[in-house]
Structure 1
Amino acid sequence: MASTDTRTDYRVTYLVLCAGVASFSLLQSMVNPVLPTIEAALDTDQATVTWVLTAYLLSASVFTPIIGRVGDKVGKERMLVVALLALAVGSLLAALAPSIGVLIAARAIQGVGGGVLPLTFGIIRDEFPREKVAGAVGTSAALLAVGGGIGLVLAGPIVDALSYRWLFWLPMIMTLLAAAAAHWFVPESPERTPGRINLLSAALLSSWLVTLLLAVSQGHSWGWGSPITVGLFAATVVLLPVWVYAEAHSDSPLIDMRMMRIPTVWTVNLVALLFGMGMYSMFAFLPQFLQTPDDVTGYGFGASVTQSGLLLLPQTVATFLAGLYSGRAAARFGSKAVLVAGATLTSLGLLALVLFHDHVWHLLIESTVLGLGFGLAFAAMSNLIVDAVPQSQTGVASGMNANIRTVGGALGSAVLASVVTANLRPDGLPIESGYTHGFSVLVVTSALAALVAVAVPVVKVVTRSTADDAPATEADGAAVALEPLAR
């Protein structure tokens, strides 16, 4: 473990953190395009193979805020190593999985790695010079979207050249190296939140997240009016307020409800929900649109998995470049302005996709605009959250923001699946209007995200006598001091 007396150079720390984030983000999307391949290889059916995605989604949603909070309490570097090792163990098990059941269990273990992102933001805030924090947080946040795009690009060539099992071998190697580097080169955090880990809060949080996401992700196949779907939504309606009440009255809350009520935090979280609906849905459905056989349906481009990934490469590059630029843009214009710009670009790119999608060059321009929007918005959301909360709560606040984006993605994908498949051709493929109507829904959610972003209060970080005090905010030009939250 890196010594706390002689701190590792923050640039070395940053390289290690980026490797961890990249490994997690690759595993989010690499598997999506090759589910039919896995279905055939493991002799299962379509309904069962979708659990390869669902298990990962549920696990990551549960563990992202929990691992972030535990890191705030016991040490971020220590929990970063744990999260990376969970990714590596899950990847090893997935690569060797002899059956679909084992693969689903392996994906659930991989989901523990969701804690990598909030821990990364917390370590950056602890270790980096103040003037470097915005750029570092922005770039590492954008890596999550970049990794998602790269996963779509690499999946086809890897499967063609090797096999689908290498979609897990390669991330396993990356995460093992990242875990070793984190142990040796990432210094332990000087910031700790006192108190115990509230197991009841963790159980309640896990319960309502699982019931909500299970209903949302499986409702399309189970039927939205089926007893199990309705029952899960009803359980969520009961469990969510119980969790909020328990947290609000706990001496040692897992997630401080006072923190969640900070104007900057709850408005950015609302943006995250709406923005996640658009971004993650596009990761799932744009490749499907590109792969639709145009000679049969009259739309689409008949691309292979590999070709559709390559067509989306400009989007990935644009996301990465926007993430790199976001720090300088935030320093000049403010993170709020960057967030508004990112959400606006996303809605414009989606609107263009609805109106113009007949030629490859249309898709290349539109997906590039979307990539710019993704990179800017991801970076800005993370910076706004990091600046708005006490340093001791960076991990859990960032974890909840990432989690809310994931919930938004699950909601958006479910809505889009219902709209796209509402009317099918005799051959089982969606009609063209299914996609245009679905993408139109995402135009609305992205435009709403931009409007909410306009209302996000500007955060002004001030120096306090203790590290656990919250920053002040500026609203309508007047500075309003927040009460200390982490006592």
Structure 2
Amino acid sequence: MTAPLDRRTDYRVTFVVLCVGVASFSLLQSMVNPVLPTIQEALGTDQTTVTWVLTAYLVSASVFTPIIGRIGDKVGKERMLVVALGALAVGSLLAAVATSVSVMIAARAIQGIGGGVLPLTFGIIRDEFPREKVASAIGTAAALLAVGGGVGLVIAGPLVDALSYHWLFWIPMIMTTVAAVAAAIWVPESPERTPGRINVATALLMSSWLVALLVAVSQGHHWGWDSPRVIGLFVAAAVLLPVWVIAETRSSDPLVDMRMMRIPTVWTVNLVALLFGFGMYSSFAFLPQFLQTPEVAGYGFGATVTESGLLLLPQTVASFIGGVAAGRLAARVGSKMLLVFGAGLTAFGMFGLAFFHDEVWMILVETTFLGLAFGLAFAAMSNLVVAAVPQSQTGVASGMNTNIRTVGGAIGSAVIATVVTSQLQASGLPTESGYSHGFLLLGITGAAATIVAILVPVVRATTHVVPGPQAEYEAEPAERAQV
């Protein structure tokens, strides 16, 4: 029996701690991208090797996000939150003092363990917050992922100019250390636990196909899409993925319950997440490059890293506004409607970038629309998934949704990189049509996400009937998260 809510830590204190953790993780996702050439020069390595600074973080976060979320469901979300924040702090410290690229890559892999902060945050909110506050809290926490990504692009340049790239890691280290100590003191332990053991075999299978897929996608542009290494990794992923699904289906104690993944709301929202991640993370990667392209190329604005970040500041502000407003809007129109609107607005913004990008004001308007779309859609996706699953499955369900969005981002960034660089000028810069075609593809992806979002069923009943040995799969009422 758990302590009454009024004897537990005030949920507002808990929320502040959770937001610091999510913000730190999201900053680490994006701050490194704009200054990768600086890190390459400082550590004396080459372009191909330094890309592993991004790949190691991506792969580690993708593997550990659902695993840490599931362990939290079983052994306690608060203690696993401390572990995830501790990993972020240790990895950031190691990255800040790294003197070689191998140490930096190892540090980024440790940081990726902190991806578990996201599903644990959603689970703790669902456990601890008053029912009427759950939707807005989840919306704000989810939007922080998009906001942090934008803030990382904005502050990376000024930080490096004023101090050094080491401070890209010192600041998150300080934030996560404070958050870890605060979590240990003030965040209450989970009242909900899932019985059973952690299925190590299926965890290894899931990790194997994710590593094979993400390494192939991330390094394909450098190794060559037709290279034996890339083809071999894709084949391995294609074989291991169905093996993992079969193993999870047959397991009496699965890491990821496939019956949960087959809930109509869950799988449709996950598909939206894949498509949405394809567009959002690609825009984080390629919009700064477009803005920094010298005007001699016939397009672009010749912005510095700092200037390009400031040009994207309205997008970041709009993401925050969208995330904060999402909770109240969801109570009025429903999270599904927000998701449809956010996905549609993403398509609108991407199509705008494809056809109208000659003036700074055009970029500002279009990216502001994108920022609002990201904030609304992130909040809506998280609320829909959390409301559709049992409380004991919150961590792994939201972890898989986050993970699928990350996989979509990795695929999108690789595809857009290939499209943008398919035609190069004599100077070695991409042609304007490369960026136009890339943004057009992202617009099409956004339109596809909108169509899928329209098909997302709204959870209204307290029981899901799912094919499988246990036909009755209980979930909390939809009004729990005000879907």
Partner of 1:259: 260
Equivalent pairs, count: 469
Superposed displacement of residue 352, structure 1: 0.8
Partner of 2:331: 331
* C-alpha distance after superposition, 1:191-227 (max 9, x if no partner): 0000000000110000000000111111111111110
Alpha-carbon distance in structure 1 between the residues aligned to 2:255 and 2:4: 27
Unmatched 5+ stretches in structure 2:
465-472
Partner of 1:153: 154
Superposed displacement of residue 459, structure 1: 1.3
Q: Does 1:79 align with 2:80?
A: yes
Alpha-carbon distance in structure 1 between the residues aligned to 2:346 and 2:212: 30
**Secondary structure of 1:278's aligned partner:** helix
1:155 alignment partner AA: A
Assess if the C-alpha contact under 8 Å between 1:354 and 1:436 holds in 2: yes
Assess if the C-alpha contact under 8 Å between 1:336 and 1:380 holds in 2: yes
Aligned counterparts, 1:455-474, within 5 A? 455-460=455-460, 462=462, 469-471=474-476
Partner of 1:57: 58
Assess if the C-alpha contact under 8 Å between 2:463 and 2:474 holds in 1: no
Aligned counterparts, 1:29-40, within 5 A? 29-40=30-41
**Secondary structure of 2:72's aligned partner:** helix
Assess if the C-alpha contact under 8 Å between 1:153 and 1:306 holds in 2: yes
2:277 alignment partner AA: G
> Structure 1 residues 26-35 or 452-461, which shifts more?
452-461
Q: What TM-score do the two structures reach when normalised by structure 2?
A: 0.95
* C-alpha distance after superposition, 1:42-68 (max 9, x if no partner): 110100111000000000000000000
**Secondary structure of 1:430's aligned partner:** coil
Q: Does 1:226 align with 2:231?
A: no
**Secondary structure of 1:398's aligned partner:** helix
Alpha-carbon distance in structure 1 between the residues aligned to 2:65 and 2:77: 13
Superposed displacement of residue 272, structure 1: 0.1
Assess if the C-alpha contact under 8 Å between 1:460 and 1:471 holds in 2: no
Q: What TM-score do the two structures reach when normalised by structure 1?
A: 0.95
Partner of 1:318: 318
> RMSD of the TM alignment (CA)?
1.5
Superposed displacement of residue 462, structure 1: 4.0
Alpha-carbon distance in structure 1 between the residues aligned to 2:186 and 2:461: 29
* C-alpha distance after superposition, 1:213-261 (max 9, x if no partner): 1111111111111100000000011100000000000011000000000
Runs of 4+ in 1 over 3 A off after TM superposition: 2-5, 461-464, 471-474
Alpha-carbon distance in structure 2 between the residues aligned to 1:227 and 1:124: 46
Alpha-carbon distance in structure 2 between the residues aligned to 1:472 and 1:80: 26
Superposed displacement of residue 469, structure 1: 2.6
**Secondary structure of 1:458's aligned partner:** coil
Superposed displacement of residue 461, structure 1: 5.9
Assess if the C-alpha contact under 8 Å between 2:292 and 2:301 holds in 1: yes
Aligned counterparts, 1:449-460, within 5 A? 449-460=449-460
Assess if the C-alpha contact under 8 Å between 1:75 and 1:188 holds in 2: yes
Partner of 1:479: none
Alpha-carbon distance in structure 2 between the residues aligned to 1:210 and 1:16: 31
Partner of 1:169: 170
Alpha-carbon distance in structure 1 between the residues aligned to 2:158 and 2:379: 29
Partner of 1:372: 372
2:159 alignment partner AA: I
Tell me the percent identity: 74
Superposed displacement of residue 460, structure 1: 2.1
Alpha-carbon distance in structure 2 between the residues aligned to 1:25 and 1:218: 22
2:437 alignment partner AA: H
Alpha-carbon distance in structure 2 between the residues aligned to 1:227 and 1:445: 29
Alpha-carbon distance in structure 2 between the residues aligned to 1:192 and 1:215: 36
Partner of 1:244: 245
* C-alpha distance after superposition, 1:18-41 (max 9, x if no partner): 000000000000000000000111
Superposed displacement of residue 428, structure 1: 1.0
